[in-house]
Amino acid sequence: MPAEAYILDGYVDEPTCLGVPPYISPYIRTVAGVLIGHEFSVRYLTIDQLRKDQHVITVLDRADLVVMIAGVTVPGKYLGGKPATLTEIQQIGHMVRGPKKLIGGPIGFGYAKEGGQRAIRQVISGFDALLAGEPAVAIDNYLNGNEPVGMLDYSRTDTWSGIGSGIIVQHPDYPYVMCELETARGCSHGATGGCSFCTEPFYGMPKYRSIEGIANEVAALYAHGARHFRVGRQPDILAYGAGIGEYPAPRPDLLEDLFASIRTAAPALKTLHIDNTNPATIARHEHESREALRAIIRYHTPGDVAAFGMETADPDVVAANNLKAQPEEVFRAIAIVNEEGGKRRDNVPELLPGLNFVCGLAGETEMTYALNEQFLNRVLKAGLTVRRVNIRQVMPFEGTPAYMNNTLGKHERRFRQFKEYVRSTIDLPMLRRVYPIGTVLHDVHIEVSGNLSFGRQMGSYPILVGIPLKLEKRSTIEAVVVDWGMRSVTALPVPVEINTLSATAIKWLPGIGKHKVAAVIAKRPFKTLKDYQNIAGNSMLDPLLKF
Ligand code: SF4
C-alpha cells in the first residue's frame, strides 16, 4: 500500500492568483505532482468539506501526511467557498494528530480577518512545518530531507503541474472547475519598489513560464476533463514575455503563440479568460497593446474581463504609494479595451475592463473619494463600459510600505459613502449596458439552491445570477435576464415554461409585474403565444416562451 497524503485546500486569494471554488489554484496541482512523484497516493479535500463533516478530521488523522494550502492577501466576498480562517487552520493543526502536517501558500505572508486590518505574520501552531516560498519546491525539498524552503523554479513546477493535473477530478465542483493558469510571477513595477500595498514584489522581478510548459499543463488538465481555464496567475497578462523595464511593451507575437497553444492543447475548452492587466502598459504602449488584445480576443471565450488595478483616481495618492498608473492613463486604457473588446459574441461583450479600487492608502483625504466618484462618472458619461468596480480597504502586509504608512480608520464614513455611490449610481447603468433585458446567458451553473437560487457562468468575475426558483445545486441552465440588482441580474430559465412557472417567477416577466400575475395564472394553460400576448403584450422574451 502506498503512503497516503491529503491536500487540504483552505483556498487562496492573492493579487495574482485565485483559488476559491470554482477556482483551483496552481499550488494544489503542483503540490499533488510532488506528492505523486514521492509515491504517495494523493487525496484532495476542501475546507468546506471539512466544515460540513467533522468526520473528515478522523480521515486526516489516519493519513501519513497532510498538506494544507491557505492564505488570503486580497480579501474578497465569495460565493463558491469561504477561505479558512487562522482559528480554523490552527484547530485543524491541533486536532489532526497522526500524520506529519505541513502548511503553505500566502498564509506565510501573514493573516488578517478582513480588509482594513493589518495582516500579522505569525507562527501557525499545530503544524510541523511552514512551507516557505514556493510550496511545491519547499515540500519536495522537505521530502528529500532538506529544509522546507523553496524558490520558484518553473523547470521543476512544470513537471509537477502535469503529473498533478488529475487532482482536479477530486474537486467537489468537478467538472465545473476553473483552472487558474500561471504564466509569470513577480512584477516589473517592483523595479521601483512596486505599489505600496502589494505583496507581488516579494516574488522579485518577473519570471515567465514557457509557452511549452503552460501548454503541456493545459493538455494534461484537459485530458482529465478540464474545460474551463483562466490565464490569471500573473500581474499583467499583456507583459507576458516582455523585455526589461518597469513598463515593458507587450509582445503580441508571444501572446498569439500562448493563446493559440492553449487552444491547441484544449480544443473543446468552454472557457478561456484572463485577469490582471496593467492599464499603464496599455496607455504607454497603445499600438502593441491593441495588437496583444486582438490576439487574446482571437482565442479566448467572450464575457472576458481585463482587471485593472486602478486603486485611486487621486494623483496625490498615486504618487504617495508609487502606484502604477495615473487616472488619465487608466481612462485611456478603459477606452482602448472598450474599442477592442466591446463587440458582442454569444450575447455578451468579448472583453471589458474591470476596475479595482483600494482605500485606506497613504495620502488619502476626503477629496480622494470625490475624485474617485468624478472619475467613474466621467467613464459612464463617456459611454464607456466597465464590467465591474471592486472596492476594498487595504490589508497591509509586513514588508510592504503600506504596513507602516496608511490611512486606515481615518475616512470610514466617506469610504462607505463611496461604496454606496458606486453601487447605486455606477453599477446599475453599467449592468444595463452589459446585460440588457432579454440577454440569454449560457451555462449558468447553480451554486446556491433555495427559493431564490444563485448561479454564475464559469469565467473571470462572472455576473451573479439570481433565479426566483428552487433549482438543483450544481445543475446548469440557460437563463434570460429580466431585471438587474445592484451587482447581479435576475433571470429565468430558458425556455420560459409559461404554463407551469410559479407566481413568484411570473412577476419578473416583462409586461407582467405584480398586477398581472393573477390574470396570467387564471388564464393558464395558454395554447399559443397570441393568447399570452393578449394579456401580457409583446416583449423581447416572446421567442423564448414555451407553451
Ligand atoms: S503593478 Fe503594483 S499592484 Fe500590480 S502586481 Fe505590480 S506591484 Fe502589485
DSSP string, 110-150: -B-SSTTSPBBP---TT-SEEEEESHHHHHHHHHTTS-SEE
Domain that holds residue 494: 440-546
Residue 514: its pLDDT value, please?
Answer: 81
Residue 59 and residue 42 in one domain = yes
Residue 442: its pLDDT value, please?
Answer: 96
Place of cell 481615518: 410
The per-residue pLDDT for range 92-112, each reduced to its tens digit, is 999 999 999 999 999 988 887
**Whole-Å CA distances, 94 to 59, 89, 112, 135, 530:** 15, 9, 20, 21, 67
User: Using CA atoms, how far apart are residues 99 and 204, in angstroms rounded to an integer?
Assistant: 34
User: Using CA atoms, how far apart are residues 72 and 397, in angstroms rounded to an integer?
Assistant: 11
How many angstroms does the Cα of residue 196 sit away from the middle of ligand 1? 9
The per-residue pLDDT for range 144-200, each reduced to its tens digit, is 999 999 999 999 999 999 999 999 999 999 999 999 999 999 999 999 999 999 988
Residue 367 and residue 462 in one domain = no
Confidence of residue 203 (pLDDT cuts 50, 70, 90): confident
Residue 299 and residue 338 in one domain = yes
Radius of gyration of the chain (CA): 24
- The protein residue whose alpha carbon is closest to atom 6 in ligand 1 is 187
Residue 14 and residue 107 in one domain = yes
How many angstroms does the Cα of residue 199 sit away from the middle of ligand 1? 8
The per-residue pLDDT for range 111-137, each reduced to its tens digit, is 878 777 888 787 788 999 999 999 999
Residue 93 and residue 219 in one domain = no
User: Using CA atoms, how far apart are residues 178 and 237, in angstroms rounded to an integer?
Assistant: 18
- The protein residue whose alpha carbon is closest to atom 2 in ligand 1 is 195
Residue 76: its pLDDT value, please?
Answer: 81
Residue 59 and residue 157 in one domain = yes
Choosing from 123, 143, 170, the residue where a domain stops is 170
Whether 22 shows a pLDDT value over 80: the answer reads yes
Number of domains in the chain: 3
- The protein residue whose alpha carbon is closest to atom 4 in ligand 1 is 235
Q: Phi and psi at residue 401, in whole multiples of 5°?
A: -60, -30
Residue 255: its pLDDT value, please?
Answer: 98
User: Using CA atoms, how far apart are residues 209 and 26, in angstroms rounded to an integer?
Assistant: 13
Residue 429 and residue 506 in one domain = no
- Taking the CA of residue 323 as reference, the ligand 1 atom at the shortest distance is 2
Mean pLDDT across the chain:
95
Residue 302 and residue 161 in one domain = no
The per-residue pLDDT for range 301-342, each reduced to its tens digit, is 999 999 999 999 999 999 999 999 999 999 999 999 999 999
Mutating to test ligand 1, I would choose from 195, 197, 394 the residue with most ligand atoms within 8 A of its C-beta, which is 195
User: Using CA atoms, how far apart are residues 217 and 37, in angstroms rounded to an integer?
Assistant: 16
Residue 504 and residue 429 in one domain = no
Q: Phi and psi at residue 315, in whole multiples of 5°?
A: -55, -30
Q: Which residues line ligand 1 (CB under 6 A)?
A: 15, 187, 189-190, 194-195, 198, 200-201, 235, 278, 309, 324
Whether 9 shows a pLDDT value over 80: the answer reads yes
Residue 402 and residue 459 in one domain = no
Instruction: Say which CATH number the domain at 423 has.
Output: 3.80.30.20
Residue 114: its pLDDT value, please?
Answer: 78
The per-residue pLDDT for range 482-529, each reduced to its tens digit, is 999 989 999 999 999 999 999 999 999 988 888 889 999 999 999 999
Choosing from 155, 170, 185, the residue where a domain stops is 170
Residue 467 and residue 416 in one domain = no
Helix (H, G, I), strand (E, B) or coil at 539: coil
The per-residue pLDDT for range 218-264, each reduced to its tens digit, is 999 999 999 999 999 999 999 999 988 899 999 999 999 999 999 99
Instruction: Say which CATH number the domain at 95 has.
Output: 3.40.50
HSE on the CB side for 106, CA within 13 Å? Answer: 30
Choosing from 170, 203, 219, the residue where a domain stops is 170
Residue 295 and residue 381 in one domain = yes
User: Using CA atoms, how far apart are residues 411 and 415, in angstroms rounded to an integer?
Assistant: 6
- Taking the CA of residue 187 as reference, the ligand 1 atom at the shortest distance is 6
In the predicted model, what is the mean pLDDT of residues 368-380?
98
